Amino acid sequence: ASWMSMLFAAGMGIGLVFWGAAEPISHFIKPPEGLAPQSMEAARASMRYAFFHWGLHPWAIYALIGLAMAWFQFNRNGRGLISDLLQPVIGAHHRGWIGTVVNVAAVVATAIGVATTLGFGTIQIAAGLQRVFGIGDSIPVQLTIIAVAFVLYMASTTSGVNRGIKWLSNFNLGLAAVLLALVMVLGPTGFIFDTFTTTIGSYLNSLVTMSLRMSPFSGSTWVADWTIFYWAWWIAWAPFVGSFIARVSRGRSIREFVLGVVIAPSVLGFLWFSVFGGTALWSQIFGHVDLAQALGNGYETVLFTMFDSLPMPMVLSVIALVLLMIFFVTSADSAVLVL
């Protein structure tokens, strides 16, 4: 459980919270494949592409880098650097200037990837504070959020993996499970499970087509705006997350590693999007709350607006705020540990 919680804390926990409701609604309003906006086909496609963007592909990228780095670090006495992976290709030169260039590029990519994720987290925390406490969303508020998170992650990082990071990751995974269960029970439970089952089938049936889909004939930028953006994001994160996964996975068999890094997180991600994305679509389609208008105010507002369609919206919002802040801290923790 601790291992799995640290994978999510480093990999994409904050992204799941940010995009869980917002991405399906965005695809529903502006669907891919030339579908009619806000149609039933658009609703199905919105969930299918959310599964696609957050399912097997990103975790497979992380697993590929993580497994290779773990192999060289623990079986070949490597240094735990991305340049170690070049040893079979360029031999001892991986310790020279070529390796240095590769390592610097990995650090830059990591910094950019982490900055993107923490940026999403900051603006959503600010939106949550505005919703719950009436604190206006402004640059000073966002800087304050970053400052508070900085203090927390410094305290956590200095305590090491086995104390601060591990404890926060375990706590946050439990808190995420509580929020997931509350939304599932308070929301359209039957609709959520129907959505999960239907979308799994649609996702698996269309996996190859979606993986190779471009839009040369339509001139649409949807694929570039979403799918290619995500692939660039995951690849930028891969050296960082791969290094972290390798570090916390010592002693695992390759079978355990693949199941734990690719299959299990993907299934949990599917469940997360089914609950939050399914509830968001249900709220929009059946007129419980206008999430299309919320989307116009920013992706970060969709989740908290969705809570208004459920009982106990304030409780759900507070839990989501705490979840976001801790994921913010653990993401920064993991980056600092690796860098």
Task: Give the best-scoring range by mean pLDDT among 42-46, 108-112, 263-267.
Answer: 42-46
Cβ-based burial of 32 (10 A; exposed 0-12, middle 13-18, buried ≥19) = buried
User: Using the 8-state DSSP alphabet, how is residue 84 labeled?
Assistant: G
Q: How far apart (Å, rounded) are the C-alpha atoms in residues 114 and 111?
A: 5
Q: What is the DSSP code string of 281-337?
A: HHHHHTTSS-HHHHHHT-GGGHHHHHHTTSSSHHHHHHHHHHHHHHHHHHHHHHHHH
Per-residue pLDDT for 186 more than 80? yes
Give the mean pLDDT of 268-286. Answer: 94
Residue of higher predicted confidence among 169 and 49 = 49
pLDDT single digits (tens) 11-20? 577 888 889 9
Q: Is 172 helix (H, G, I), strand (E, B) or coil?
A: helix
Per-residue pLDDT for 184 more than 70? yes
Per-residue pLDDT for 114 more than 80? no
Nearest to 227 by CA among 39, 51, 42: 51
Residues 9, 165: contact at Cβ < 8 Å? yes
91 band by pLDDT with thresholds 50, 70 and 90: confident
Long-range contacts of 102-107 (CB under 8 A, 24+ apart): 106/81, 106/82, 106/239, 106/240, 107/239, 107/339
- What local confidence, expressed as pLDDT, does residue 265 receive? 87
Q: Is 94 helix (H, G, I), strand (E, B) or coil?
A: helix
Contact residues for 287 (Cβ-Cβ < 8 A; gap 6+):
none
pLDDT, the chain, mean: 85
Per-residue pLDDT for 41 more than 90? yes
Query: Phi then psi for 252, rounded to 5 degrees?
Result: -85, 145
Per-residue pLDDT for 78 more than 70? yes
Per-residue pLDDT for 151 more than 90? no
Looking at 70-74, 91-95, 211-215, which range is the least confident one?
Answer: 91-95
Looking at 47-56, 60-69, 86-95, which range is the least confident one?
Answer: 86-95
- What local confidence, expressed as pLDDT, does residue 336 receive? 62
Percentage of the chain lying above the pLDDT 90 cut: 35
4 band by pLDDT with thresholds 50, 70 and 90: low
Nearest to 168 by CA among 4, 5, 336: 5
